[in-house]
Amino acid sequence: MTIDFYKKVGYQPPWICYYVSKDDELVGNAGIKGKPVNGTIEIAYGTMENHRQKGIGTAICKLLVDLSLKTDPSIRITARTLAEENFSTKILRKNSFVLLGTVNDPEDGEVWEWLYKPGH
């Protein structure tokens, strides 16, 4: 699936996917869904089930934001979630993302789109 994804969007570090480990154990994944388009990127992240609700997802999100801004301070950072309150929405709010509204994602259907806004 990852290989097919990069064949479609291109492989251009640092706008790629990463695995996240803690104490030599795989705890999650992180990704920037392709190189910037019109100055905007979309981040995605996940935590392995047995490592959830430990702050790891929040830390992964922060690392993606930091990496993106270090690479390009003018970048616009977005994320998408299911169109409901859940752990992902809490993680995004903790990392200064604000809800823009509902959008139709070609792969996921109707989702909420979020924008990183420092200071919120």
Please state the pTM of the whole predicted model: 0.91
* Residues contacting residue 76 through CB under 8 Å, at least 6 positions apart: 39, 40, 41, 115, 116
Structure tokens at 62: 């922060």
For all residues of the chain together, what is the average pLDDT? 94
* 30-34: Cβ within 8 A, 24+ apart: 30/60, 30/63, 30/64, 31/64, 32/64, 32/67, 32/68, 33/9, 34/9, 34/10
Superfamily of domain covering 2-116: Gcn5-related N-acetyltransferase (GNAT) (3.40.630.30)
- What are the distances in angstroms from CA 47 to CA 53, 79, 86? 9, 16, 14
Q: Which residue has the higher pLDDT, 109 or 7?
A: 109
pLDDT of residue 10: 84
pLDDT, residue 9, reads 84
Domain boundaries, the chain: 2-116
Q: What is the pLDDT of residues 65-74, one digit of tens each?
A: 999 999 999 9
Residue 99: is its pLDDT beyond 80?
yes
